[in-house]
Structure 1
Amino acid sequence: MLITGAARGLGRELARQYAQQGWQVIACGRAHPAQAFEGRIEFHPLDVADPASILDLATRLGGRPLDVLVNNAAIRSGNPGLYRFAPDEFLKVMRTNTLGPLLLARALRPNLVVGRMGVIANIGSRAGSMAEGLIDDYDDDYAYRCSKAALNMASAQLAQDLRVDGITVLSLHPGWVKTDMGGDQAVLAVEDSARGLRMVIDSATIENSGSFQTLDGTHIGW
């Protein structure tokens, strides 16, 4: 299993829980975390916004079977609002949150093909839902919302293209999680979010491919 954005927050908790369950976990991040990982976790440097870094990771993992790819790494805009965001900042969010997961799926497809499960879990957000994203949600982070909406389409397209390989692709909403990104006002403990996501990922089948679900398996409108 490979998890991006695993140096802290939800990614780190997913890595910890999966390792506790006996999985061999490849934890990826831009820099080594201040607190070392324990157990069956190995760290690999990765900047998902840098295509060269993604190709370097794929080269290092060449031929190695991979059961699950969790595209968790993401950033938010530092200046939300229609009149505050800068174009370069907007594009940086898109590169990290949308293009990065897509390039990783392409680069690691051979590894997933020879793995036992073949699951790509893209950690999306209800904030990117055209149908539900603006219901009781007053966040005006244009870059983040657009990046997650685009990630949904990338997930749907990947599900169609990778079905021939038996690879299941999911878009998952982790909830409003108490992390550095989620903030202190968030309502969901990171342990609970990771636990729910694991249940959805572990029970995924090819029939679920191309779906958009919450951490408890509820389907979200696109």
Structure 2
Amino acid sequence: MPSWAIVGATRGIGFEYVNQLSSDAKNEVFALIRSQKTAGPLNELAASRKNIHVLETDIGNPTKLKETAGEIGSIGGGKLDVLVYNAFFHGDSAELSPSAFAGREEELENYFFEPLKVNVLHLIHTVNAFLSLIKKGMERKIIYISSPSGDLEFNRVSELSTAVGYSISKAAGALVMTKYASELKSEGIRALSISPGWVETDAAKDLITSPGAFEVILSTLRKYNPNVKGMISPKESVESMLSVIKGLDESTSGKFLSHKGNLEWF
């Protein structure tokens, strides 16, 4: 029975991963969340599908993560096939460019380092905590949900000068995954950074609440791809990503790909 751990499974893309994977009774799905307070829909789904296990954990606490790995090992026979790290932190001041922080140095430190904690440091904590389980799995795959914001060429072509902390942290996270791919290649473990596309999630909607924000984002994305029409559904995004993950092998391990399996981010 293939086993999957989805980090950040309460809503949006993470929830959709749990939903699609658990629809196949052959899959064992571990939904890792920060708090039960916002896990109502997830718990409802888990109540109807016995192959879903909802576990609270703290990705910033290596000791707690190791305890969670122990729980997964106990339930899943001491192994884990695929780890999907979907947790992320965007941060405030997303509308500011680097020079806009002149005279706002303290704000810059918070804005810069907080995304790095979740999107990079906690990623490493999480992978390290589950690595012994992955080594015993059949699939042996580690997946990092990233963003085109972390791609240098996308930033250059789209002229995206804002979202500084988030973009830098996502680029750093992708590099971490490349290093894992190199380190673990000889053990048959594959690592991949993958962008879900522009997905209609609550987090995405939060960024377009101001008048005209959607048009501004759309015009930015169209500098890179003139054919972008709007956001895609979590269902479409996850279906596409699962297809890419299924095909992940030594030739693509360590890469940063789109949900289409290439560099077409949208």
TM-score, normalised with respect to structure 2:
0.77
Q: Would the aligned equivalents of 1:126 and 1:220 in 2 still touch at CA under 8 Å?
A: no
Q: Secondary structure at the match of 1:47?
A: coil
CA deviation after TM superposition for structure 1 residue 135, in Å: 2.6
Q: Would the aligned equivalents of 2:66 and 2:130 in 1 still touch at CA under 8 Å?
A: no
Structure-to-structure mapping, 1:98-109, within 5 angstroms: 98-109=120-131
Residue in structure 2 matched with residue 75 of structure 1 by the alignment = 89
- Structure 2, gaps ≥5 residues long: 209-213, 215-229
- Structure 1, gaps ≥5 residues long: none
Confirm or deny that 1:117 pairs with 2:120.
no
Q: Would the aligned equivalents of 1:26 and 1:43 in 2 still touch at CA under 8 Å?
A: yes
Residue in structure 1 matched with residue 17 of structure 2 by the alignment = 14
1:163 is aligned, of 171, 185, 195, to 185
CA deviation after TM superposition for structure 1 residue 89, in Å: 4.0
32-41 or 104-113: which moved more? 32-41
Percent identity of paired positions between Structure 1 and Structure 2: 26
Q: Would the aligned equivalents of 1:168 and 1:204 in 2 still touch at CA under 8 Å?
A: yes
Residue in structure 1 matched with residue 225 of structure 2 by the alignment = none
2:202 is aligned, of 180, 184, 200, to 180
Tell me which amino acid in the other structure corresponds to 2:61: D
Q: Would the aligned equivalents of 1:132 and 1:220 in 2 still touch at CA under 8 Å?
A: no
Q: Secondary structure at the match of 1:132?
A: helix
Confirm or deny that 1:141 pairs with 2:163.
yes
CA deviation after TM superposition for structure 1 residue 107, in Å: 1.6
Runs of at least 4 residues off by over 4 Å: none
Residue in structure 2 matched with residue 29 of structure 1 by the alignment = 33
Higher helix proportion (structure 1 or 2): 2
